Amino acid sequence: MFNFVIFGPPGSGKGTQSKNIIAKYNLVHLSTGDLLRTEQNTGSELGKQISALIDDGNFVPDEMIQKIFKAFLFENKNSDGFILDGFPRNTKQAAWLDNLLEEMNSEVKFMLALEVDDDELKRRILDRGKISGRPDDQNESIVETRITVYNKQTIPVKEYYENQNKFHSVKGVGKPDEVFANICGIIDKLK
Ligand code: AMP
């Protein structure tokens, strides 16, 4: 299995680029944000608990997301590999993921970060909110909360992979095709 983490703040283009990557490299897109929104849309009790947290820009508890993550991973365990989008989002999740993949005789091959500055992020997320209808994309203070939570809890994950010599980054601004070409250059080198 060939697995890597696509990393970057909300609005950095992880979802858009992941769609291109899975088509080219035959990988499964494991987006924890998408999995949570799917559960939200079912209207289940769990979906309601999720809404109460993520609509305000806060994380769901580790145990909750890990359970959902593991179920999706196992359902797709015969695939060629996964592009992990939105997970791990803190260092505890990163350590949990290393253990889980080790049990499956696999690993995270590398982390690839999309670099975009905060002002550009805010602009992109609010633009996306007009189309997506996502509550957490439509309100400036919620968007700011998400960026703050990211800077506090998720940035340390970068160091986690740097310590394993697995961290790589690419400029996330410019034409999407050009960003994709740069991403492919890195994947082809590291694969
Ligand atoms: P995303 O689509 O990746 O921006 O995720 C949307 C929201 O889902 C985030 O703002 C978090 O509230 C929640 N979420 C997604 N992934 C995780 C995770 N790994 N841990 C905790 N919460 C998460």
Alpha-carbon distance of 71 to 152, in angstroms, equals: 28
Q: Mean pLDDT across the stretch 99-127?
A: 96
3-state SS assignment for residue 3:
coil
Q: What local confidence, expressed as pLDDT, does residue 11 receive? A: 94
Q: What local confidence, expressed as pLDDT, does residue 25 receive? A: 97
In a mutational test of the pocket of ligand 1, which residue from 30, 59, 83, 116 has the highest number of ligand atoms less than 8 Å from its CB? 59
Q: In angstroms, what CA-CA distances link 71 with 67, 89, 169, 188?
A: 6, 18, 29, 29
pLDDT band for position 173 (cuts 50, 70, 90):
very high
Q: What's the pTM value of the predicted model, to 2 decimals?
A: 0.95
Alpha-carbon distance of 63 to 128, in angstroms, equals: 29
**What residues flank ligand 1, with Cβ below 6 Å?**
10, 32-33, 36, 53-54, 57-60, 65, 86-87, 89, 93, 136, 146
CATH assignment, 3-190: 3.40.50.300
